[in-house]
Amino acid sequence: MLSGSDDQQGAAHAARGAGRLIAGRYRLTDQLGRGGMGTVWRAHDQLLARDVAAKELHVFTQGDEDRRVWLRRAVREARVVARVPHPHVVGVHDLVEYEDRLWIVMELIDGPSLAQLIARNGPLEPTKVAELGAQLLGALDAVHAAGALHRDVKPANVLLRRDGSAVLTDFGIAVVDDGEALTNSGEFAGSVEYMAPERVNGGEVGPASDLWSLAATLVTAATGASPFRRPAHAATLHAVAYEQPNLPARLGPLLPAVEALLRKAPEERPSIPDATTALRHAAEGLAADPRSLPSATVRIAIPAGVSLADAETRTRQHVPWTDHTAPTAAPTSRYDAATAAALMRRDESRRDRRVMGLVVSSVALVFAGTGLGLFLAGVPPFERSAQADASDGKEPGSEAGISLPAGTPLPATPVVNESVVHGAEGWQRVTDTPIQSGDTVTVRFTSGQWTVDDPEMPLTGPEGYDAETDKALDFAAADCKVNDSAPFGALLGRFTEAGEGEESHIVGKQWTFEAAAGGMLELRINDGDNGCIADNSGDLSVTVTVAKGA
């Protein structure tokens, strides 16, 4: 940590900053802000004739181990942000050392922070907050894909451009996911009231922790107060770890999304695609059905005679297996006072009821035709295998109080993962589920659009541009098309077996194949890596279902 004398020296150093020429290139003009890690200056890049933001880190490049730790943290901040080219992540231009100080030169966002805007004008409309939230989810998705966590998402670290769009900034305590901890034992790096419960409790910190912090930020933006702020620091910590958030009815259509993202257990929070969909609906004044916000990864047991597509739909919409006639619930509903009242009737017994419901549903039997099958609704299958039961002299399923005829196979357990494919990246791995020989894999498009030339070309979906639009790009086809038989913008897939590459396939809206050997699934946009994808933008959301072979 920095000592008091270090901080005083840093303040004095910053006070004489205006007019200085940094590294022979950046002329400082006025101070934009000062925080725990650095002072941010408006500066003019004399080489490229543009205004930039120059962050002067409050740590010398020479000194003891504590200084070197902070220096490594600062360098990582710059590297993490620099490799995330996203419209809602602040751009990093340069990293220079000057007068024994480290300077990070960044894109200048000529607008207030979200915290400043709230302090000046009061809470924002929930629909506007939802719009900003969807933008910031896209930023976090890009940060996580780069192998990093932000770890300090809060209103002060969200800047607003002149057009009102949000930019995520200040990765001062970001940690690259390579196992090296950059904080001292027991040190809380970040703002307590926006800190996820797993950080307070010493649990495992991951991407879901950033989503929790974002939800707390959105509540603050829409209500003017943090949902966990208490008069004392210790009370705030306790509230984050154990108490339910304060979610006023003013949140309106934003309420279901933030409530789901603020679930105490990280694994219970929804995925980024589901949360993004919910926030986009909220931006239109629609409140998401809470059932459309399940946890990020769902493991399901599929009964005989039920297709993977139907299983996936039922799981995502929480439709019981026994209800074959009821229509699926509408994904959204118009927000009104009745909806608010229903959503606000929450208490501690809700979790107990949900757990009991899962236990009961996990042992439900459904008779279909003349065959007896075991149907599990939305919970993991038996952890013990049929072989283990047999070795104990028990029939499979007897531990759950169920007796099956000898030789009756247990249902398969496909794994359904959700992922986002970025238009501005090359081949991207879309599932961590091991794929082995005999497995059936289905990739299914769910939402989103992208373009191969922003802003010149229109947005398109997974099937790519129509023939006429695609023909307009013939001049670039030879150099940029990954798959010559598919139009630009089409969703492509490949399955790499045993370390050997395979030709790309046209995924479109759906692609199903059986793996001949173990391997890795990757997806991308049909636009080449050799300088072609630099001007792309947009994302597609997909589900990947892996059904294990016999």
Q: Which amino acid is at 208?
A: A
Catalytic residue among 94, 141, 152, 274: 152
- Is 481 assigned a ligand-binding role in the annotation? no
Tell me how far CA of residue 109 lies from CA of 90, 114, 443, in angstroms: 8, 12, 39
Taken as a whole, the chain contains a residue count of 550
Q: Which amino acid is at 549?
A: G
Whose tokens are 């930020």? That residue is 217
Tell me how far CA of residue 462 lies from CA of 483, 522, 530, in angstroms: 14, 15, 21
- The structure tokens listed for 285 are 């004044």
Question: Parallel, antiparallel, or unpaired: how do β-strands 505-506 and 101-106 relate?
Answer: unpaired
Query: In whole angstroms, what separates CA 491 from the centre of its chain?
Result: 21
Q: Which amino acid is at 3?
A: S
Whose tokens are 């236990």? That residue is 359
Closest CA to 181 of 205, 145, 159: 205
Closest CA to 17 of 46, 35, 41: 41
- The structure tokens listed for 173 are 């305590």
For the chain, what is the radius of gyration of the CA atoms? Answer: 26
Whether 366 contacts 321, CB under 8 Å = yes
Whether residue 7 lies in the annotated active site: no
Closest CA to 87 of 454, 496, 483, 469: 454
**Residue 389, SS3 per DSSP:** helix
β-sheet bridge partners, residue 113: 159
Question: For 171, phi and psi rounded to 5 degrees?
Answer: -90, 35
Angle at 206 between CA 383 and CA 38, to 5 degrees: 170
Whether 317 contacts 327, CB under 8 Å = no
**CA-to-CA distance for 439 and 334, rounded, in angstroms?**
41
**CA-to-CA distance for 2 and 11, rounded, in angstroms?**
13
E strand or H helix at 175, and its extent? strand 175-176
- The structure tokens listed for 375 are 């149907």
Angle between helices 272-283 and 126-145 (to 10 degrees): 160
**Binding positions for ATP:** 55
Which residues are part of the catalytic machinery? 152
